[in-house]
Amino acid sequence: MNQDRIESILALDCGSTATQALLIDRVGSEYRLLARAEAQSTVEPPWNDVSASARQAIAQLSEIIGWPLLGEGGHVIIPQHQGGGVDAVVAITSASEPLRILLAGVIRDVSLESARRALRASYTLVEGVVSLDRRGDGAHALNDDLQSQVQLLRQIVPDAVVIVGGVDGGATRPVLQSTEAISLACSTLPPGECPPIIYAGNAELRPQVAALVGAGTELRAIDNVRPNIEVENPAPLQAELEELYRARKMERLPGFGTLASWSTVRVLPAARALAYSVQYLAQLDGINVLGVDVGGSSVTVAAVVDEEPGLVVRADLGMSYNAARTLERVPLALIQRWLPFESEPAEILNMLHNKALHYRTVPQTRQELLIEQAVAREILGLALADIAPQWSQAQSRLYPGLLPKFHLIVGGGGVLAQVPHYGQAALVLLDALQPVGVSGLALDRTRLLAPLGAVAMVNPAAAAQVIERDALLNLGTVVAPVGAGREGDVVLTFKIEYEDGRSLEVEVLYGSLEVIPLPAGQTANLELRPSRRFDVGLGTRGQAGTTKVEGGVIGIIIDARGRPLPIAADPEQQQEKMQRWLWDMGS
Do 506 and 566 belong together in one domain? Answer: yes
pLDDT of residue 276: 96
Q: Are residues 291 and 368 in the same domain?
A: yes
Q: CB–CB of 496/558 below 8 Å?
A: no
Quote the CA–CA distance of 447 and 238 in Å, as a whole number: 25
Is residue 17 located within the same domain as residue 80?
yes
Sign of CA dihedral 571, 577, 582, 583: positive
CATH number of the domain to which 234 belongs = 3.40.50.2300
Residues 62 and 119 in one domain: no
Q: How many structural domains is the chain composed of?
A: 3
Considering the domain architecture, whether residues 513 and 380 belong to the same structural domain is answered as: yes
Q: 190 and 317: one domain? A: no
pLDDT above 90: percentage of residues in the chain: 76
- 328 and 260 in one domain? no
Residues 453 and 561 in one domain: yes
Query: Quick check: helix, strand or coil at residue 210?
Result: helix
Q: What residue spans of 94-205 are helical by DSSP H?
A: 110-119, 146-156, 173-187
> Quick one: 28 and 123 in the same domain?
no
Query: Over the stretch 192-227, which tens digit does the pLDDT of each residue have?
Result: 889 999 999 999 999 999 999 988 899 999 999 999
Res 137: pLDDT: 36
* Domain match, 288 and 275 both: yes
Contact status, residue 373 vs residue 415, Cβ threshold 8 Å:
yes
pTM here is 0.94
Sheet holding 299-305, edge to edge: 308-314, 299-305, 289-294, 408-412, 437-443, 473-480, 555-560, 512-516
- Tens of pLDDT along 554-568? 999 999 999 999 999
DSSP 8-state assignment for residue 249? I
> Could you count the other beta carbons within 10 Å of the beta carbon of residue 514?
18
User: ∠ CA(292), CA(129), CA(208), 5° rounding?
Assistant: 115
What's the mean pLDDT in 168-174? 85
The answer to whether 195 touches 157, Cβ cutoff 8 Å, is yes
Mean pLDDT of 47-71: 96
> Which residues form the domain of 328?
271-584
pLDDT of residue 323: 80
Nearest 5 degrees, angle CA 227-CA 233-CA 235? 145
| pLDDT band at 139; cut points 50, 70, 90 | very low
The C-alpha atoms of residue 343 and residue 419 are separated, in whole angstroms, by 21
Task: Indicate whether 475 and 568 sit together in one domain.
Answer: yes
User: What is the mean pLDDT of the segment spanning 110-139?
Assistant: 78
Q: Is pLDDT of 431 > 80?
A: yes
CATH of the domain at 42: 3.30.420.40
Beta bridge partners of 104: 130, 163
pLDDT tens-digit series, residues 322-332: 887 888 888 99
Q: In 3D, which of 560, 564, 565 has the Cα closest to residue 531?
A: 560
End residue of a domain, out of 210, 240, 266: 266
Mean pLDDT of 425-434: 98
In this prediction, residue 140 has a pLDDT band, given cuts at 50, 70 and 90, of very low
Band (133; pLDDT cuts 50, 70, 90): low
DSSP per-residue string spanning 354-400:
HHHHSTT----SHHHHHHHHHHHHHHHHHHHHHHGGGGTT-TT--ST
To 10 degrees, what angle do helices 571-584 and 422-433 make? 130
Best CA proximity match to 303, nearest among 295, 294, 293 = 293
Residue 226 and residue 258 in one domain: no
Q: What is the pLDDT of residues 220-253, one digit of tens each?
A: 999 999 999 889 999 999 999 999 999 999 999 9
Q: Which of 4, 52, 24 is nearest to 454 (CA)?
A: 24
